[in-house]
């Protein structure tokens, strides 16, 4: 019976190690270069955006790498116990129960972070489920040993911690186990560090960037017949027009805003941005399967109100400067705090709750549905579509190419989204 439990634990731990290993890879290669970080209930989850959040690392290493280490250690402990048999079944079970209790405590904290961020990651939840199954299996094994052989975890732990009565063979086994733990930790975390270094080198590869840009230009530019957007930054006559369907509480859209700031600082009046709302919130958007960012409808109305009252660029800046403070707990009061000092709050809220703002918001949502927008941000650069936030270098290559073409006699494409 003990061998059967060991086999189940080994299989589950191996599965967990595979998932955790993939999540570790995902941290360093979140989107490769064919896809980009994005949000949306129509996607497979937000593992990409979660893996790039500030909560994704501990001491500079991805949380998933710690999970990988733990799953491999549980696997090794189960295999050793199964191979050695006898009293080592009890020792292996006691150690794994301790490791699994620590893992589940960590999972509870990480699940809380995910809930607070309101960012769903199926793969993360899968590792939590595997840990739970491992713990339940180990606990059933313990109950079986206790009923059949009178095994006590307290005695087993005391036997592991106090090795005074052990002979040379047992002491050698304990020493080798401790050595393996250190070697496993070194292997996992040094590999993670190497991945980090390789990722940095990869991101600097001009050839890879050029391939993504080439793929971008293989698309036909869409003829965008868009009504004017009130949510614009940059001059109306800019040569490069970037249109974004966005959710102003989306973590990927926050990354896009940071990208916008960098591009604006570099290209000035040569580039302009126009935003259209696509809140991932069922309160106002009936086309999303589930609410991803609660109160994003409120945030969208606040943005439109800031435009109607003439303070949109400044309000947008203040909104995202406070993003980390109110992310996951945005509401009407947060909108009022953001607008403080810009305009009279009552006038602002009257606009936000007006029929005009509601009509503009629904207009954007219907437009997004017509254009098959399924995730945020969905970006159009002079008519060509990108889903998600591209690496800055890729966007710069596209912008430079557009400026070169337009500077040599080309003309702006229709449907810029400018009022």
At 235-279, the pLDDT tens digits run 988 999 999 999 999 888 998 998 999 899 888 899 999 999 999
Q: What does the pLDDT average to over 151-162?
A: 64
**Residue 71's pLDDT band (cuts 50, 70, 90):** very high
- pLDDT for 74 equals 96
Q: How far is it, in rounded angstroms, from Cα 49 to Cα 3?
A: 41
With beta carbons less than 8 A apart as the criterion, state whether 281 and 292 touch. yes
Mean pLDDT for the chain overall: 84
The domain 213-407 is placed in CATH, from the list 3.40.30.10, 3.90.850.10, 3.30.70.1400, 3.40.50.11740, at: 3.40.30.10
- The model's pLDDT over 378-407, given as tens digits with 9 standing for 90+, comes to 999 999 999 888 888 889 999 999 998 876
Q: Return the CATH superfamily for domain 2-203.
A: VKOR domain (1.20.1440.130)
0.75 cut: is pTM over it? no
11-20, 32-41, 181-190, 377-386 — which is least confidently predicted? 32-41
- The model's pLDDT over 87-100, given as tens digits with 9 standing for 90+, comes to 788 888 888 999 99
Q: Which two tokens stand for residue 215?
A: 């793929």
Q: How far is it, in rounded angstroms, from Cα 21 to Cα 130?
A: 14
Per-residue pLDDT at 213 exceeds 70: yes
Cβ burial of 311 (10 Å; 0-12, 13-18, 19+) is: middle
With beta carbons less than 8 A apart as the criterion, state whether 280 and 39 touch. yes
Per-residue pLDDT at 144 exceeds 90: no
| Domain parsing of the chain, residue ranges | 2-203, 213-407
């Amino acid at each position: 019976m003990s061998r059967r439990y060991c086999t189940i634990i080994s299989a589950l731990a191996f599965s967990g190690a595979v998932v955790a290993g993939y999540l570790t890879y995902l941290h360093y290669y979140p989107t490769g270069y064919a896809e980009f970080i994005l949000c949306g209930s129509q996607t497979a989850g937000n593992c990409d955006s979660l893996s790039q959040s500030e909560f994704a690392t501990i001491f500079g290493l991805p949380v998933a790498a710690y999970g990988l280490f733990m799953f491999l250690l549980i696997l090794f402990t189960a295999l050793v116990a199964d191979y050695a048999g006898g009293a080592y079944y009890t020792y292996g079970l006691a150690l794994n129960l301790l490791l699994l209790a620590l893992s589940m405590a960590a999972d509870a904290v990480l699940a809380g972070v995910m809930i607070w961020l309101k960012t769903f990651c199926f793969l993360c939840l899968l590792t939590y489920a595997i840990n739970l199954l491992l713990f339940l299996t180990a606990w059933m094994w313990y109950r079986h040993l206790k009923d059949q052989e009178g095994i006590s975890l307290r005695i087993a732990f005391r036997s592991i911690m106090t090795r005074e009565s052990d002979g040379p063979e047992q002491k050698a086994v304990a020493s080798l186990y401790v050595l393996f733990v250190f070697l496993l930790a070194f292997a996992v975390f040094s590999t993670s560090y190497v991945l980090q270094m390789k990722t940095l080198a990869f991101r600097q590869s001009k050839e890879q960037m050029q391939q993504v840009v080439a793929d971008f230009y293989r698309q036909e530019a869409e003829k965008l017949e868009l009504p004017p957007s009130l949510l614009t930054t940059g001059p109306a006559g800019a040569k490069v027009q970037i249109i974004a369907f966005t959710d102003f509480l989306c973590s990927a859209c926050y990354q896009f805003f940071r990208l916008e700031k960098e591009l604006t600082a570099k290209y000035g009046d040569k580039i302009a941005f126009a935003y259209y709302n696509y809140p991932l919130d069922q309160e106002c958007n009936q086309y999303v399967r589930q609410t991803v960012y609660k109160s994003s409808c409120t945030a969208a109305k606040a943005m439109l109100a800031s435009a109607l009252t003439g303070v949109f660029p400044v309000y947008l800046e203040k909104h995202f400067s406070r993003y980390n403070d109110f992310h996951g707990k945005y509401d009407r009061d947060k909108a009022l705090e953001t607008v403080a000092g810009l305009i009279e709050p009552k006038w602002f809220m009257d606009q936000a709750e007006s029929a005009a703002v509601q009509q503009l918001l629904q207009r954007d949502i219907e437009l997004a549905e017509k254009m098959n927008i399924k995730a945020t941000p969905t970006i159009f650069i002079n008519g060509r579509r990108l889903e998600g936030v591209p690496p800055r270098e890729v966007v710069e290559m596209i912008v430079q190419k557009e400026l070169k073409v337009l500077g040599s006699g080309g003309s702006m494409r229709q449907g810029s989204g400018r009022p």
